Amino acid sequence: MTISTGANAGLTSATETGPCTRVSIDPRGPRFGGAITTVVLAIALITMGTAFGIAVIAWQTIVFALGAFIGLRAQPYGWLFRTFIQPRLPAPAELEDSAPPRFAQLVGFGFLVVALVAALLGGTLVSTIAVAFALVAAFLNAAFNFCLGCEVFILGKRLTRSN
């Protein structure tokens, strides 16, 4: 498998026999996305209970859905990273598998679906708690490069291998 670096890092690479089943990404991209997500979810918490707050939660739910179900390249924060940030950075020392961050997007999507439904039904407390959990996870990724959803994914893989 050939792994691309530089401006094309994170693209699916191909082997001589056909397309790869794994997608490698620049590991700095999810951290950048985590920083934007932290800001978006903080705004959602500040505006909780308003129509704008619901719109912010809906936006982030869509962002998580794109990352989880289509791929990290489909996510707007990934596009911002690839377009404006990554070209100005040196190539990463190594690339990482996109599966753990995609799982993290799925977990975030789950929390924000709960938050969005609760907000639409007037359950501000439930919505606030769900957004707060997602915010903590995004902050850990942005500030400390600790992807909570990725760690859960890896733990799940280890547990399923041992059975």
> What integer pLDDT is reported at residue 22 of this predicted model?
82
pTM above 0.75, yes or no: yes
Indicate whether 5 belongs to any domain.
no
75, with CB counted inside 10 A (0-12, 13-18, 19+), is buried
Indicate whether 124 belongs to any domain.
yes
> What integer pLDDT is reported at residue 96 of this predicted model?
96
Q: Which backbone phi and psi does 15 adopt, to 5 degrees?
A: -100, 175
**Average pLDDT score over residue span 128-156:** 98
Q: Is the pLDDT of residue 154 over 70?
A: yes
- The answer to whether 140 touches 148, Cβ cutoff 8 Å, is yes
Mean pLDDT (the chain) is 90
Q: Band of the pLDDT at 143, cuts 50, 70, 90?
A: very high
Total domains in the chain come to 1
Indicate whether 10 belongs to any domain.
no
Q: How far apart are CA 127 and CA 122, in angstroms?
A: 9
Domain that holds residue 125: 29-86+97-162
Indicate whether 6 belongs to any domain.
no
What does the DSSP 8-state code read for residue 126?
Answer: H
Indicate whether 1 belongs to any domain.
no
Residues 6+ apart with CB under 8 A from 100: 147, 149, 150, 151, 153, 154
**Average pLDDT score over residue span 9-31:** 66
